[in-house]
Structure 1
């Protein structure tokens, strides 16, 4: 269970970092740039901790899928970037893929 908490922290740090990357304006604004770098470092650190027990493919699938969904929500609510129907369908397929991996795959760590 602890490894999934580390994975959640990795996802949250990555989401913050990606959001700050947009606001850093190509690393021209110091505070968002520093937050971006620190949060990406935190994201990779916590992701590395999860790899002690969770297979890399499974951890990365969860990390990237949940990150995509969270950053899309940030895009919607913070940056006013509304996805169209194909984007929403794609997000739902990504979520379905992660659920299938975690529920049915014998390679996932439970």
Structure 2
């Protein structure tokens, strides 16, 4: 159940960050309001995930996967360019999340 709550928190955090970009610095009303709704819902599900999982796993996974997904969304949705060095650091984030999950489960 914790992983389901965490997945929902990640999707809502991604939605909140996309809404933030679309709000154009609070100049657009609907994306600005959606940003607050999505972030509020994301933190709510993050809180529920913490009932079932360790905070080190929850927060590292939430933030790390959020970074990866928003980076991909920046490239795909907003046609942002990422240098090779940025892509390598994103890969390191993913490796860190996997390693953290493996070390917590194994330890």
Q: TM-score, normalised by structure 1?
A: 0.92
Query: In 1, distance between residues paired with 2:13 and 2:105?
Result: 27
- Map 1:3-82; keep pairs closer than 5 Å: 3-82=2-81
Query: In 2, distance between residues paired with 1:3 and 1:57?
Result: 13
Within the alignment, does 1:86 sit opposite 2:85 as a pair?
yes
Alpha-carbon shift at residue 26 of structure 1 (Å):
1.1
- Which runs of at least 4 in structure 1 moved beyond 3 Å after TM superposition? none
Instruction: Report which of the two has the higher share of helix.
Output: 2
Query: In 2, distance between residues paired with 1:89 and 1:62?
Result: 18
Query: In 2, distance between residues paired with 1:13 and 1:85?
Result: 28
Alpha-carbon shift at residue 86 of structure 1 (Å):
1.0
Query: In 2, distance between residues paired with 1:104 and 1:48?
Result: 23
Unaligned runs of 5+ in 1: none
RMSD over aligned Cα atoms: 1.4
Query: In 2, distance between residues paired with 1:56 and 1:79?
Result: 32
Query: In 2, distance between residues paired with 1:58 and 1:107?
Result: 13
Unaligned runs of 5+ in 2: none
Q: TM-score, normalised by structure 2?
A: 0.94
